[in-house]
Amino acid sequence: MSSVLPSGASHSGTGSLSPTWVLAIAGFAAMYLPLYWWAINGIWQTEEQGHGAIILAVMAWLVWSMRHEIDQAPTRPVPALGWPIFGFGLLVYFVGRVFDISILEFGSQPLVVAGGLLLLRGTAAVRVAWFPLLYFIFMIPLPGILVDAITGTLKSQIADIVESLLYIAGYPIARSGVILSIGPYQLQVADACSGLHSMFSLSALGTLFMYMMGRKTKLHMGIMLASILPIAFVANIVRVITLVLVTYYLGDEAGQGFLHGAAGIVLLLVALVFFFFLDLALDKVLPARRAPAR
């Protein structure tokens, strides 16, 4: 028995990609896979920028999970808007490529992808993919000028708070600038422990947490968003305290070895716990009404 499809039936459900999509994906891969490879073998191996690889994995998962929604979005290309955005993204990319400015290369991604979606599918596809497009921001390395300007102040504040808390707890600790002396050991609050990069990575974690928890009231989302940086700062203090106590009880080799890396896991766990319980508390305190869909 044979069956005949209606003349207007869609073939998008077959799972095959049109030549246009294949060309678009191939072009994106040609532009950015060398950049990712460079980052994997370079900045993403550092403690300061190590979150970049995680952001890339999250991005890949997000795009893959919403591929059907993007494919089913109404096809109404907007070339009048798509070409300027796409062209500007290409310009930013090539300037970054020619002058070896990774910030521009990474920063061109949301422009290129948004412009491509507008050209291929239209505004409906962009609305579906709004979160991955914004999430590209967290893959952009922080500018060195910004890091240098903020890091010194953060290191001093964290060292001062850690000294005060451990002194109150009865530990033999003293501080000179960003140098903490506890027992026979001296520890410097380094740039990696200053909190700036961890705040950036934890901001990415908090933003993803809010997205995964679903649409809440505007007040709920506003409080969660405003709490990201304070929670990141507190979590980083817990991390430094952990490293100081590990060094005090187990020695300098333990503090600078495997347990130093494990303290980064403590940072993430503490932040997640704060986010989770704050979300639960707001669910109980605030009205259950959810924000209208946009």
Residues annotated catalytic, as ranges: 193, 239
Smallest CA-to-CA distance from 269 within 241, 231, 229, 243 is with 231
**Given the structure tokens 């000294």, which residue do they identify?**
163
In degrees and rounded to multiples of 5, residue 195 shows phi and psi of 105, -15
Please report which residue ranges of the chain form alpha helices under DSSP H.
Answer: 19-40, 51-65, 67-72, 79-98, 102-107, 109-120, 123-128, 130-135, 144-168, 196-212, 218-250, 252-256, 258-285
C-alpha–C-alpha distance, residues 250 and 248, integer Å: 6
Asked if 289 and 217 touch (Cβ cutoff 8 Å), the reply is yes
Contacts of 44 (CB under 8 A, 6+ apart): 50, 52, 53
Residue 281 neighbours by CB under 8 Å, 6+ apart: none
Per the CB < 8 A criterion, the answer to whether 239 and 198 are in contact is: yes
222 touches 231 (CB < 8 A): no
End-to-end CA separation in angstroms for the chain: 46
- Phi, psi of 184, rounded to the nearest 5 degrees: -85, 5
